[in-house]
């Protein structure tokens, strides 16, 4: 005689929840959400000087806005 299985094909949340003493698993860095490139590169003007930053890290000062925009475009491509 063949045995039959009883139960649902869709486990409940209680069936799939991790054990309370299970170690926390963090997501690998390459899978974590990152802001879009447009938000990572910032350009600010102050006293006629254009400053370019990536993720808050200083990358350069420029006297002309066009030069700052070119630098920012190149930096976005490198991300």
Among left, alpha and beta (phi > 0; psi -120 to 50; other), residue 48 is: left
β-strands 49-54, 41-46: how paired?
antiparallel
Annotated domain spans of the chain: 35-79
Supply the pTM of this predicted model. Answer: 0.54
Q: Which pLDDT belongs to residue 79?
A: 82
Cα 76 to Cα 10, 17, 69, 71: the distances in Å are 44, 40, 10, 9
Q: How far apart are CA 59 and CA 53, in angstroms?
A: 5
Tell me how far apart the terminal alpha carbons of the chain are, to the nearest angstrom. 63
pLDDT tens string 12-53? 555 666 666 766 667 666 666 666 666 899 999 999 999 999
Q: Which pLDDT belongs to residue 12?
A: 59
């Amino acid at each position: 005689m063949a045995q039959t299985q009883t139960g649902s094909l869709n486990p409940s949340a209680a069936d799939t929840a991790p054990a309370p003493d299970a170690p926390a698993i963090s997501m690998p860095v390459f899978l974590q959400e990152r802001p879009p490139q447009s938000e990572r590169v910032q350009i600010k003007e102050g006293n006629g000087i254009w400053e370019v930053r990536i993720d808050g890290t200083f990358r350069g000062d420029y006297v002309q806005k066009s030069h700052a925009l070119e630098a920012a475009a190149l930096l976005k491509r490198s991300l």
